[in-house]
Chains A and B, each alone.
Chain A
Amino acid sequence: MTDRTTLKTDPLVRIRGISKHYPVGRDAFGRPSAMLRAVNDVSLDVRRGETLALVGESGCGKSTLARLMLRLIEPTAGRIVFDDDDISKLSPRKLRPYRARMQLIFQDPFASLNPRMTVGDVLDEPLRINGWPREKRRERVAQLLAMVGLRSAHAERYPHEFSGGQRQRIGIARALACGPELVVGDEPVSALDVSVQAQIINLLGDLKAQLGLTLVMIAHDLAVVRHMADRVGVMYLGELVELADTRTLFSRPRHPYTRALIEAVPLPDPHVRPERRLLEGDAPSPLSAAPGCKFATRCPLARERCHSDTPALLETGEGVNGEPQRVACHYWKEADMGAPMTTAVAQESERYRLRAKLFQARLQALEEKTATQPVA
């Protein structure tokens, strides 16, 4: 996590009115019969050195937005400005130098590595494409492996010889190969077991601090987001409905959807079993082009106006850190009801706390003893 006071506010990426619509089906004249609005008119800045999380449920457009940001898919409308250059219209050839500066980490470490390539080849490929001389590449591969906590001997091995956590380390090393400024993680830890997930979250945090990276995290696990992000954008059906710094968002969510999302998270504390107000129903089809707020069909506060008038993402005052809190809701003042119950401090027992401390202290002591052997 970045030291929030020294955060520079100069944006690395500026997204303006970006949309991605997919035609669905064909009518008798070959014209699309409907439009799937995967991302609809989203504007957003990614600041240098921050970790920005995009959260929301499946189909909300968070992955599409991330891919638009990297221009892996073509926007239907809108602009993407990367480090003062508009990259939304560049040809593939002109885009190439920017590719090395922005990288993606995938969710599934089993599907995102070529099984026929050794780890060394996987890491060598981006270097070769970007014109690194042969003699420097070997050294760089070893350096990358060390950075993510693997041994240089691992370069000879194939992906299937590694566990899920190790594969995700390889995926991270590949993303970092050419020294990118922006790294986008598309659910980089959600396929991993909790104990391994914690290792990868720590690794990402360390690398970010070490290399001064800007991170965009696509995630659905709010606890992970709370832990890693400086700012959070909440998406619902292709639209950004709330954007605020992490502390503000979790302690004072202002969009009713954000609140519902936070309150739905099961807490690892059996003493707090809140009888919560659950959201009814499912998200409506993204094909429907009904006017008004997309969340209105499930919103407990929805009124007539919500079904006709689309709310804009507007500043609603300052958050905890003096950052603006932006909310797209006509009635956010009524949704603003203080802290959601699930963010109340869980009661950890004294015994658990003592043992957790002992466990970590003992691990550290052993680590110091065995010197600096990288974690397998």
Chain B
Amino acid sequence: MTIILAQHDQAPARTKRSDAMNDNVLTVEGLKVGFRTDKGRFSILDGVDFTLRRGRTLCLVGESGCGKSVTALSIMGLLAENAEILGGSARLNQHELIGLDRHALRRLRGDAMAMIFQEPMTSLNPAFTIGNQLIEGIRQHSDLEGAAAREHAIEMLKRVRIPAAEQRMGEYPHQLSGGMRQRVMIAMALANDPGLLIADEPTTALDVTIQAQILQLIRRLQHDSGTAVLMITHDLGVVAEVGDDVAVMYAGRIVERGSVTALFDDPLHPYTIGLLSSIPRLDDTLTRLSTIPGSVPTPAEMPRGCRFSTRCPFADQHCREEVPPLAAVGNDKEHVVACWKAPIEHCEECSESREVMA
């Protein structure tokens, strides 16, 4: 009797905890990456934190060199030879990825986690047929062999809506258009039903009508399979279209993170605000675009404090000296920002500007 009671007591608690555990597909904490070059060591990522839940899409957004691709490559264990992980952790379903050996990573890649890249042509082997490459991935990570593996490959090509899938199996990458190649990449990535899909600028090289097709395809497949997607992009339009959550990166740090609606409706970091107002929009015809002056500092001239302080109109000595923590400033605890001045309408520097505007 007591045993049954105990089980009753524990059961709900256990399911709850395991739910939370299963829900977090990817947890990245304090990830630090550096590069060794002949000019010395440079910090590329300086403490990146985020979690990605099952079935959700997190967009990493930022300008070139901000570290969004390096974040992805660190997770996949695909960093270049001269890069080293200096600290932090990245856990896939509670399993630590940082420090895993080559063989363990190989077992995970293409199985529990998969990645698609900007240029499908450079990720496909030009010397093998589409079918060959798809089947190889399936055989590596499953018990399927021969006809069964081939059938699964054809099935995958159909799922990514490639017409005449059986015929395409025998074709080579150069015989396909850019959009079709990206579909093949997606089919390969999803062949073993990964829990995590990392998409690094998957539509940047594609035309806008093809981009729309691919984004819709990723969304539909994700809806069916519950795969968590880490989408890396520089295009805020893509973020608004496919993202559930966003992390804005600047010079190797996340400066703001929150739900997509929070970020677009209530942008807190001056960089996010500047970025949002510098995109030309289809729906406006303003004569001048807002800009962010200057450019990202080189690793050698990176300020000690907030890395945006060299371009931020609100920055003071404190900002330049001390790194602001990523913290919530409003009621939405999921919406965090790394800025001493946020929200800017309350900061001291703004009082003048408010007067000017009034």
Contact = CB atoms under 8 A, between A and B. Distances in A.
Nearest to A59: B207
Which of A165, A194, A356 lies at the interface centre, i.e. has the most chain B CB atoms within 10 A of its CB? A194
Contact of A226 (B265, B274, B285, B294): B285
Contacts of B345: 354-355, 358
A280 B161 CA distance: 11
Contacts of B289: 198, 201-202, 227
A265 B208 contact: yes
Contacts of B264: 268-271, 349, 352
A362 B350 contact: yes
Interface string A348-364: 01011011111111110
A365 B188 CA distance: 53
B279 A223 contact: yes
A265 B293 CA distance: 27
Interface stretch (B7-15, B145-153, B221-229, B236-244): B236-244
Given A264-B212, A278-B209, A358-B353, A195 B292 contact: yes
Nearest to A163: B295
B265 A352 contact: yes
A282 B180 contact: yes
Interface residues of B, number: 65
Interface in B230-270: 234-241, 243, 260-261, 264-267, 270
Given A227-B286, A356-B276, A193 B209 contact: no
Interface residues of A, number: 69
A362 B314 contact: yes
A367 B291 CA distance: 13
A344 to B, nearest CB: 7
B121 interface: no
A272 B273 CA distance: 20
Interface string A191-219: 00111111101100100000000000000
A292 interface: no
A220 interface: yes
Nearest to B61: A194
A360 B277 contact: yes
A265 B282 contact: yes
Contacts of A314: none
Nearest to B237: A266
Contacts of B55: none
A270 B290 CA distance: 21
Which of A1, A198, A228 lies at the interface centre, i.e. has the most chain B CB atoms within 10 A of its CB? A198
Contacts of A205: 287-288
A273 interface: yes
B63 interface: yes
A220 B64 contact: no
B357 A361 contact: yes
A358 B283 contact: no
A271 B261 contact: yes
B273 A359 contact: yes
B292 A267 contact: no
Contact of A276 (B212, B266, B285): B212
A282 B270 contact: no
Contacts of B79: none
B353 to A, nearest CB: 4
Contacts of B236: 194, 268
Given A194-B63, A355-B273, A376 B295 contact: yes
A62 to B, nearest CB: 12
B281 interface: yes
A111 interface: no
A260 interface: yes
Contact of B240 (A270, A355, A360): A270
B26 to A, nearest CB: 22
Nearest to A344: B283
Contact of B343 (A197, A346, A355, A356): A355
A356 B234 CA distance: 20
Contacts of B123: none
B291 A269 contact: no
A351 B207 contact: no
A268 B207 contact: no
B282 A193 contact: no
B241 A267 contact: yes
Nearest to A340: B282
Contacts of B349: 362
A325 interface: no
A57 interface: yes
A256 to B, nearest CB: 12
B218 interface: no
A222 interface: yes
Given A359-B277, A362-B350, A193 B241 contact: no
B281 A268 contact: yes
B292 A270 contact: no
Contacts of B279: 194, 198, 223, 268
Given A198-B291, A376-B294, A227 B241 contact: no
A351 B285 contact: no
Nearest to B259: A270
Contacts of A163: 295
Given A352-B267, A362-B352, 18 more contacts: A1-B287, A163-B295, A195-B278, A246-B285, A250-B282, A260-B209, A265-B237, A269-B264, A270-B240, A270-B241, A270-B261, A282-B180, A344-B283, A349-B266, A352-B266, A358-B354, A359-B290, A376-B294
Interface of B: 63-64, 177, 179-180, 207-213, 215-216, 234-241, 243, 260-261, 264-267, 270, 273-295, 313-314, 343-345, 349-350, 352-354, 356-357
8 contacts: A194-B234, A228-B280, A261-B208, A270-B241, A270-B243, A358-B345, A359-B290, A360-B277
